[in-house]
Amino acid sequence: MSSPQCFENPPNLNSGIHGAGTVLELGGLKSYVTGPQDSKLALIIISDVFGYEAPNLRKLADKVAAAGFLVVVPDLLYGDYLDLDNPQFDRASWSKAHGTDKGCEDTKPLIAALKSKGVTAIGAAGFCWGGGGGC
């Protein structure tokens, strides 16, 4: 998340686009889930600093799901998204509270939940914050 571009162009969360999937709790995480529920192939998409509710992120998840993948976009930020409209927002404190190492740990129960559903292969992709670390 070192690139300043990660903090630009926040999504319009009031666009009216909600996606074809549903929001479920999976592995203890509130997640946008889309695609065939019986798929053996899953992709976990990790959001950027603006969170899992971003309409374009959900549209991307739906496109991947149309290829036959079960796609899960977890809320690894627990609703605490970057707030560019708040002049008091402290990016350094926010970044410290939302380290990628915590995201990796919080994803482990999600992976276990997918495996318990019969998923045999799981991939992951992320953007800015979500692409900043390897588990």
Q: Report the CATH number at residue 33.
A: 3.40.50.1820
pTM exceeds 0.85 for this model: yes
Average of per-residue pLDDT values in the chain: 86
- What local confidence, expressed as pLDDT, does residue 1 receive? 45
Tell me: the pLDDT tens digits for 58-116? 999 999 999 999 999 999 999 998 887 888 988 888 888 888 788 889 999 999 999 99
Containing structural domain, residue 119: 4-131
What are the start-end ranges of the E strands in 38-101? 41-46, 70-74
User: What does the block give as tokens for 121?
Assistant: 């292969």
Higher pLDDT, 132 or 80: 80
The residues facing 19 across adjacent strands are: none
Structural domain count of the chain: 1
Q: Are 40 and 119 in contact (CB under 8 A)?
A: yes
Q: Are 45 and 73 in contact (CB under 8 A)?
A: yes
CA distance 32 to 34: 7
